Structure 1
Amino acid sequence: MNTPPNNQGTGVIGRRSTRSALAEISWVFSSEDSRLPILTATNPRDNIQDVPTTIIHNLPASYLSPSPSPDEMIIQQRGRRRVPVTWSPDETDRKRDSGYKERTPVKHGSPNCKIGANGIVLRSTPRKRLLLNDPKELFPTPEKSKKGSPTPKKTRQDKAFSNFTGPLQAALKGLSQDQLIEVIHSIAEKHPGLEGEIKESLPAPDIAPLEERLNYLKKNIFKSLPNSRLTSKTDSPAYSRAATHVLAFKKCVIEQGRQLVDSQHWDSVLEYVFLAWSYVRATPLWDNPPHNAARRQCFKSLATQCMTALKRGNWSPEICDEIAEKMESCVADCEDMQMCMKQLSAIRKKL
């Protein structure tokens, strides 16, 4: 076997022999299979129309228009509705812009279906239209609102209890405090001579119910405090648990004192002031100073009520001495009691 010549110096002879061999191989294959068309190199990005017609006829139909599989057809049927092949872009855009919605047509056999002269289906019931009123009518003036129809609830009127046959004491128990005041005031107006007799028969206000109320609210404050020995009962967490009861106690102390001041029973006012003062002093003294605001407000309100009673009441020297002894123990709790002490000393000088 002859070895090929060594072309180490130049590789021109080797390249020429390789090209001639490849040309002969291509000529052999083309002569043997002349039935196949000659494929030309085309750009894959070109359209199918650029491909020679001989190639198109020889390719199978599945390459040109592949038929979808049954699963793919089911998926396409389940998908969103497609636009039909014959459609008008103007009509579709108009429906989309106007928010058009398809409606179920009216059946010809239904009672709501009426056919006109031109064969057009008519509606038996007209469409409801929104009637917009004048904006001024939506907000009527007070004069128009008074002229409107009266409310169905009738105002309760005070009727005379003429058919009552029981004792008078039982009838008075069912009345409220305002009703009793109105009854006595109306009798005193009809019979002016009875006014002096009624004043003489009036007893001093009973402070026992007021004391019971204060005692009940004070117990609620201590019940709300923690029972553990390891926790403090005057710190901020303890106050947060008792804050609601502390405010209820403060409200009761102030309102009951104002009620007695309005009654102008000055002896009872001073009696209540010293009684409520002892209950306020018995409430817990909290570690955080802002938490003692309710305690200070109670002392201040009681001191104001005491000052009002001293100015408007008639006091004897013996009663002034008793009041002075009680006030000395209250000065340490509130500085406002010093003003009451000065007022009491001024009253003593006038006696």
Structure 2
Amino acid sequence: MATIALGVGTRTVSPVVGNRQPLGELEAPVSEMRHHSLQNIDNSWGDGWYDGDTESETEIEASPRMTSSPRLPVPVSRSVWAPGRPMPVMHTVRHITTKLHNTAVTSPPSKHRSNEESPPEFHMFFQTPDRNQEETLSRKRLQMTPLDAMSPEMFGDQENNNRLGPQPPKRTRVQRVPQPAHLSARLTALSKAQLVELLSKVVYERHPQLEQEVHTMFPEPDLSAHEDHLSALVRAVYKSFPRSRLGTARDVHIYRKVSRHLDHFRRECLHQGKALQFSQEWGACLDYTLRAWRCVSDLPTFDCPSHNAAKEQCYSGLAKQCKKALGQSFLEKERYNQFRPRFVKACQLNQQMEPCLRLLDDIIRDLP
């Protein structure tokens, strides 16, 4: 905040920012301003300032403050200025501020500035006031032309005067046509029942003449997924074994932990065989029986015979499915000869496969 020394007191004045001038060029205006302010102060102390509640005009004139160094009076809310009398001191200070409206003084001396710029006998500093809109607009370097003042003549011929460069070509809207995915990719998302329904509708309803051709093109079922599923169930049975054993590895305590997994294996093993029987793929059914037989043999055998019921049910169920597949199948003799060594190994694992082996020998003997 800048301060003006007026001789009888100090007053803070804030001029508007203008072109800053050296302090030496402001000595004459400031001296004139001092004389003018002191004269107004002496005139305003006579009759023009009084307080209607506290002091009368006579009390103000005879006030001891006038005999000593006079100070600026501080008017209260009830102070009144009488018409026709000299201007109060506050108005005088405002007049001084208006007179210095376009004058600016350099900043106060600092450690980086020598004292020659600011003489010690006259220290006077001003604070930058708030800028009004007119001065702000006049100080801007780039002025925006109002829209109402703009005209086509200001820009000249737009076709010949391309000051902004050539306009980029407008992009044409691309018509996005939905492209269906490949048929094989879409078929992978369908379930087994949906695939059967789709193929039946295409062959039987739309193109009945393709039925025989499709039969000849049918491949052998892939049973690797069935075998992997049974192997995973066998691993789950052994993972359910408790780590701390109080008795033998095949006692009642162990069976109670793994009985649930044994029942799950039994259901899945027989269900997959029945699904192959329903499809009447007898060669695949015989192949599945021999694969599942090996997986059943990997199940644990418990001390109590009743705890091995799930394992025995798998053997008996697979043997029945195999016997039915041998009776319904019409395969080549070479294909039956390929199955016989596997049937012999299955009989070594469990004797319930022996009736199927004898039936297989009879079929091979009857074929030419």
In the alignment, structure 1 residue 206 sits paired with structure 2 residue 225: no
Matches within 5 A, 1:44-193: 165-189=180-204, 190-193=206-209
In the alignment, structure 1 residue 237 sits paired with structure 2 residue 253: yes
Larger Rg over CA atoms:
2
Q: Which amino acid aligns with 2:185?
A: A
Partner Cα separation in structure 2 for residue 167 and residue 204 of structure 1: 24
Partner Cα separation in structure 1 for residue 348 and residue 249 of structure 2: 23
How big is the shift at 1:229?
6.8
- Partner of 2:298 in structure 1? 282
How big is the shift at 1:228?
4.0
1:111-133, Cα deviation, whole Å (9 max, x unpaired): xxxxxxxxxxxxxxxxxxxxxxx
How big is the shift at 1:335?
4.1
Choose from 210, 214, 237 the match for 1:221.
Answer: 237
1:98-122, Cα deviation, whole Å (9 max, x unpaired): xxxxxxxxxxxxxxxxxxxxxxxxx
1:68-115, Cα deviation, whole Å (9 max, x unpaired): xxxxxxxxxxxxxxxxxxxxxxxxxxxxxxxxxxxxxxxxxxxxxxxx
1:300·1:334 contact (CA, 8 Å) conserved in 2? no
Q: Structure 2: where are the runs of 5+ without partners?
A: 1-177
How big is the shift at 1:332?
4.4
Partner Cα separation in structure 2 for residue 185 and residue 230 of structure 1: 58
Q: Which amino acid aligns with 1:219?
A: R
Partner Cα separation in structure 2 for residue 201 and residue 325 of structure 1: 29
* Greater relative contact order (CA < 8 Å, ≥ 6 in sequence): 2
Partner Cα separation in structure 2 for residue 221 and residue 248 of structure 1: 9
Relative to structure 1, is the Cα distance of residues 164 and 258 closer, same or farther in structure 2, using a 3 angstrom cutoff? farther
The number of residues matched between the two structures is: 189
SS in 2 for 1:217: helix
Partner Cα separation in structure 2 for residue 164 and residue 199 of structure 1: 32
- Partner of 1:298 in structure 2? 314
Partner Cα separation in structure 2 for residue 230 and residue 240 of structure 1: 14
The percentage of aligned residue pairs carrying the same residue is: 32
2:276·2:284 contact (CA, 8 Å) conserved in 1? yes
1:225-274, Cα deviation, whole Å (9 max, x unpaired): 13347642211100000001010111110001111111111121111111
How big is the shift at 1:279?
0.6
Partner Cα separation in structure 2 for residue 164 and residue 298 of structure 1: 50
2:283·2:331 contact (CA, 8 Å) conserved in 1? no
How big is the shift at 1:180?
1.0
Partner Cα separation in structure 1 for residue 208 and residue 338 of structure 2: 38
- Partner of 1:248 in structure 2? 264
Partner Cα separation in structure 2 for residue 192 and residue 312 of structure 1: 27
TM-score normalised to the size of structure 2? 0.48
Partner Cα separation in structure 2 for residue 316 and residue 166 of structure 1: 41
1:277·1:299 contact (CA, 8 Å) conserved in 2? yes
Partner Cα separation in structure 1 for residue 306 and residue 294 of structure 2: 21
Q: CA RMSD in A?
A: 1.9
Partner Cα separation in structure 2 for residue 208 and residue 319 of structure 1: 19
1:234·1:285 contact (CA, 8 Å) conserved in 2? yes
Partner Cα separation in structure 1 for residue 306 and residue 347 of structure 2: 21
SS in 1 for 2:208: coil
Choose from 325, 333, 338 the match for 1:322.
Answer: 338
Partner Cα separation in structure 2 for residue 290 and residue 334 of structure 1: 17
How big is the shift at 1:349?
2.5
TM-score normalised to the size of structure 1? 0.51
